[in-house]
Amino acid sequence: MENQNTHKKLLLLNPPGSRMFFRDYYCAKVSKARYYYHPVDLVYLSGSLSEHFQVSVIDAIAENMDISTCRTKILSIGPDIVIFLSSAPSYKEDMMFISEMKALLQATIMIGTGDIFREYKEFALQENKIIDALLLDFSTQDIITYLLSEEKTIPNIIKRDGEEIINGGEKHLSGSFDLPLPRWDLFNLKAYHFPFARKIPYASILTDFGCPFSCDFCPVSTLGYKLRSISSVIDELRILKKLGVKELYIRDQTFGVNKQRTLDLLRAITIENFKFGWTCLSRTDILDAFVLKLMKEAGCHTIMIGIESANEQFMISHNKNTTTHQTHEAISLIKKAGIRAGGFFMIGFPGETRQSINDTIDLACSLNLDYASFNIVNPRFGTSLRKTVIEKGSIYENILDTESSFSKPVWKNQQVSNDNLLCLKKYAVRKFYLRPGYLFKRLLNIKTFHETKNLFAEAVELLRKNK
Which class would CATH give 194-465?
A: alpha beta
Give CA–CA dist 318/215, Å, rounded.
6
- Does residue 463 register a pLDDT over 90? no
Phi and psi at residue 262, in whole multiples of 5°?
-60, -45
Reported as a single tens digit per residue, the pLDDT across 113-153 is 999 999 999 999 999 999 999 999 999 999 999 999 999 99
CB atoms within 10 A of CB 242: 10
Phi and psi at residue 350, in whole multiples of 5°?
-55, 130
- What local confidence, expressed as pLDDT, does residue 58 receive? 98
| Secondary structure (3-state) at 150 | coil
Phi and psi at residue 283, in whole multiples of 5°?
-125, 160
- What local confidence, expressed as pLDDT, does residue 462 receive? 65
Per-position DSSP letters for 59-100, written without gaps between them: ETTTTT--HHHHHHHHHHH--SEEEEE--TTTHHHHHHHHHH
Do 351 and 309 contact (CB within 8 A), yes or no?
no
Q: DSSP code of 105? A: S
Give CA–CA dist 405/459, Å, rounded.
16
Can you list the alpha helix ranges (DSSP code H) found in 78-208?
91-104, 115-120, 122-127, 142-148
Instruction: Band the pLDDT of 413: cuts 50, 70, 90.
Output: confident
Mean pLDDT of 382-395: 91
CB atoms within 10 A of CB 452: 12
Strand partners, 300: 278
Q: What one-letter code names the amino acid at 291?
A: V
Least reliable range by pLDDT among 124-128, 246-250, 427-431, 457-461:
457-461
Mean pLDDT of 58-83: 98
In order of 17, 46, 70, 73, the CA distances from 66 in angstroms are: 8, 23, 6, 11
In order of 213, 259, 283, 294, 305, the CA distances from 326 in angstroms are: 17, 18, 9, 21, 11
In 96-223, the DSSP E strands lie at 109-113, 133-135, 157-161, 164-167, 175-177, 202-205, 208-210
- What local confidence, expressed as pLDDT, does residue 235 receive? 98
CB atoms within 10 A of CB 453: 11
Domain definitions of the chain by residue range:
2-167, 194-465
Closest C-alpha to 376, from 349, 399, 404: 404
Reported as a single tens digit per residue, the pLDDT across 309-335 is 999 999 999 999 999 999 999 999 999
The CATH fold of domain 2-167: Rossmann fold (3.40.50)
Reported as a single tens digit per residue, the pLDDT across 71-100 is 999 999 999 999 999 999 999 999 999 999
Least reliable range by pLDDT among 78-82, 172-176, 226-230:
172-176
Q: What is the rounded (10 degree) CA torsion for 260, 262, 266, 272?
A: 90
Instruction: Band the pLDDT of 258: cuts 50, 70, 90.
Output: very high
- Does residue 2 register a pLDDT over 50? no
Q: Reduced to 3 DSSP states, what percent helix, strand and coil does the chain have, rounded to the nearest 5?
A: 40, 20, 40
- What local confidence, expressed as pLDDT, does residue 1 receive? 42
How big is the chain, counted in residues?
Answer: 467
